[in-house]
């Protein structure tokens, strides 16, 4: 167990190239929120981001299980996928305007590529025909959505069924459900911590942690670019210029600290000790990272709007709501205690975070961004203290730590894994 962090697959160069397309796509979604700063547009951005997110997840899991930079076929599948993904990125603003046809067709083409990739013979002899058929169904749904009204309903159905077969798909568990045997909470959690029945279904924890970490860096880069671009448009003798630059960079640094000095390490260690359990990977990464990832996009849009000449009222609310989602998604205020007042303190801290937007009535928007950044830095400090205790407990006795996690899950109370 002491060697779980050694070795492991590294992120391939072709994967880094693939991510460049998603940097552009995510930027277009954020710009869509900036162009029409209303909560309805933010909700639409969440749906669009989720569609792109599950597309990216598909390639991340594909390469994790069967990808190899040394195989020409694996590289070609990823490079081929960049073409429809790039087309979809250019069409994001048309989706906001009510013209999603080309975007939907591009998403269908991406899933054709994923279906073919999972059909291609793998070195490990991994049979993923079920995943291939699932992506084929999604491709049909996205294709049909391009020519029917309210096509987003088909998008939602496609994403839900993808979430069902990607990583989650243990045949024994499905058989138990068919027989009406509903597992208990303790049984589900212990199953999640156990190695998969089929070793070929295991995921590489080191690769997955690095893959998601790099994507979070790219999303943080969108925030840094927003700050820098806005700062360039202000005169050097403007106090707002310095507030914008300092506040934005402090905010980005604090968000980096919250994730990379805390969450990423415990996630990778838990996944490694579980033997690469796909269900745990889904909980920690595929599903668990969706909210904090979108929160970074929402904060980038909020900071961008806050630095305009005449910021709209929604600007600071986007920033504080995004920060609240990020802190909740990374569980920064979870102290690993079952005492009721710790839970109350966490709720109060999150409520205080979103309430910072009320400062917009007293201070100019750049100054509010600076206050939000300082609050995020304080949250990062709290995180460092909490995670240090968690990692110390984990390193001292990993087995006992996981047993404690399972016991607390059984009783319904919070656990140190919640940090």
Check pLDDT > 60 for residue 69. Answer: yes
Q: What pLDDT does residue 4 have?
A: 41
Question: What is the C-alpha to C-alpha distance for residues 307 and 37, in angstroms, rounded to an integer?
Answer: 13
| Average pLDDT score over the chain | 82
Q: What pLDDT does residue 339 have?
A: 63
Check pLDDT > 80 for residue 126. Answer: no
Q: Counting beta carbons within 10 angstroms of the beta carbon of residue 392, is it exposed (0 to 12), middle (13 to 18) or buried (19 or more)?
A: exposed
Q: Of residues 50 and 167, which shows the higher confidence score? A: 50
Most confident region among 74-83, 119-128, 236-245 by mean pLDDT? 74-83
Q: Of residues 312 and 229, which shows the higher confidence score? A: 312
Contact (CB, 8 A) for 332 and 383: yes
Check pLDDT > 50 for residue 360. Answer: yes
At 404, the pLDDT band (50, 70, 90 cuts) reads low
Percent of the chain with pLDDT over 90: 42
Backbone phi and psi for residue 170, each to the nearest 5 degrees, phi listed first? -65, 120
Q: Which parts of 212-348 are beta strand (E)?
A: none
Question: What is the C-alpha to C-alpha distance for residues 404 and 338, in angstroms, rounded to an integer?
Answer: 12
Q: Of residues 124 and 408, which shows the higher confidence score? A: 124
Residue with tokens 């013209």: 99
Reading the block at residue 156, the tokens are 């939602």
Lowest mean pLDDT among 62-76, 325-339, 395-409: 395-409
Contact (CB, 8 A) for 181 and 105: no
Lowest mean pLDDT among 168-172, 263-267, 326-330, 342-346: 168-172
pLDDT of 260-280, one tens digit each? 877 787 788 888 888 888 888
Sign of CA dihedral 277, 279, 282, 288: negative
pLDDT of 182-224, one tens digit each? 555 556 666 667 788 777 778 888 898 999 999 999 999 988 8
What 3-state DSSP class applies to 61? helix
Residue 36 Rama label (left phi>0; alpha psi -120 to 50; beta): beta
Q: What pLDDT does residue 1 have?
A: 34
| Mean predicted confidence (pLDDT) in 375-395 | 76
Check pLDDT > 80 for residue 114. Answer: yes
pLDDT of 222-252, one tens digit each? 888 888 887 677 666 777 677 778 888 999 9
Tell me how far CA of residue 143 lies from CA of 101, 104, 373, in angstroms: 9, 6, 43
Which pTM does this prediction carry? Answer: 0.86
383: closest CA among 371, 394, 393, 375? 375
299: closest CA among 328, 331, 323? 323
| Mean predicted confidence (pLDDT) in 328-346 | 68
| Mean predicted confidence (pLDDT) in 157-180 | 66
- DSSP H or E stretch at residue 193: helix 185-193
């Amino acid at each position: 167990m002491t060697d779980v962090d050694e070795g492991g697959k590294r992120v391939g160069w072709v994967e880094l190239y693939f991510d460049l397309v998603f940097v552009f796509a995510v930027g277009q979604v954020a710009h869509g929120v900036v162009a029409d700063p209303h909560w309805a547009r933010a909700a639409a951005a969440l749906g669009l981001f989720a569609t792109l997110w599950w597309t990216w997840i598909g390639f991340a899991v594909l390469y994790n299980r069967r990808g190899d930079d040394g195989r020409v076929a694996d590289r070609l599948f990823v490079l081929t996928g960049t073409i429809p993904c790039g087309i979809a990125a250019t069409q994001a603003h048309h989706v906001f305007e009510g013209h999603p046809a080309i975007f939907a067709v591009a998403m269908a083409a991406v899933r054709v590529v994923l279906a073919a990739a999972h059909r291609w013979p793998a070195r490990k002899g991994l049979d993923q025909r079920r995943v291939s058929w699932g992506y084929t169904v999604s491709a049909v749904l996205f294709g049909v959505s391009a020519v029917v009204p309210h096509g987003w309903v088909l998008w939602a159905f496609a994403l839900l069924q993808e979430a069902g077969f990607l990583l989650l798909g243990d045949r024994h568990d499905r058989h138990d459900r068919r027989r009406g045997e509903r597992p208990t909470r303790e049984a589900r959690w212990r199953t999640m911590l156990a190695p998969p029945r089929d070793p070929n279904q295991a995921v590489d924890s080191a690769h997955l942690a690095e893959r998601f970490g790099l994507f979070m860096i790219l999303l943080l880069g969108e925030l840094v670019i927003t700050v820098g671009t806005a700062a360039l448009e202000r005169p050097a003798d403007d106090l707002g210029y310095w507030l914008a630059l300092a506040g934005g960079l402090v905010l980005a640094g604090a968000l980096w600290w919250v994730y990379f000095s805390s969450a990423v390490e415990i996630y990778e260690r838990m996944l490694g000790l579980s033997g690469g359990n796909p269900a745990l990977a889904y909980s920690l990464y595929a599903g668990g990272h969706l909210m904090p990832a979108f929160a970074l996009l929402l904060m980038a849009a909020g900071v961008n709007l806050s630095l305009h000449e005449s910021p709209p009222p929604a600007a600071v609310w986007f920033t504080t709501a995004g920060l609240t989602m990020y802190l909740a998604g990374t569980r920064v205020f979870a102290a690993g205690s079952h005492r009721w007042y710790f839970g109350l303190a966490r709720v109060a801290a999150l409520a205080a975070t979103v309430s910072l937007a009320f400062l917009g009535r007293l201070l100019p928007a750049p100054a509010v961004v600076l206050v939000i950044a300082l609050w995020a830095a304080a949250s990062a400090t709290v995180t460092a203290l909490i995670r240090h205790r968690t990692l110390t407990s984990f390193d001292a006795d990993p087995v006992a730590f996981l047993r404690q996690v399972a016991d607390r899950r059984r009783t319904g109370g919070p656990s140190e894994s919640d940090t």
